[in-house]
């Protein structure tokens, strides 16, 4: 189950219809700065062309 409270929190987890079994909350009140570029995956190995 997902729950979004705009400007407050984003929650996800398992719900049995009556209560949360497990829930993870992401605080939307304090956004994080992105890491300095460049970031992400970098493939440094040569690959054969597709056949």
The pLDDT of residue 14 is: 94
Confidence of residue 5 (pLDDT cuts 50, 70, 90): very high
Confidence of residue 21 (pLDDT cuts 50, 70, 90): very high
| Closest residue by Cα to residue 16 from 34, 29, 1 | 1
Please, are residues 29 and 8 in contact by the beta-carbon 8 Å criterion? yes
Mean pLDDT, rounded, of the chain: 88
The pLDDT of residue 50 is: 86
pTM flag (> 0.95): no
Q: Which position has the higher pLDDT, 43 or 19?
A: 19
Q: Taking the CA of residue 9 as centre, how many other CA atoms within 13 Å lie in the half-sphere pointing to its CB? A: 9
């Amino acid at each position: 189950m997902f729950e979004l409270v705009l400007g407050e929190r984003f929650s996800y987890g398992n719900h049995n219809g009556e209560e949360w079994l497990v829930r993870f909350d992401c605080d939307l009140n304090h956004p994080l700065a992105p890491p300095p570029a460049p970031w992400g995956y970098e493939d440094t190995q040569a690959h054969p062309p597709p056949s």
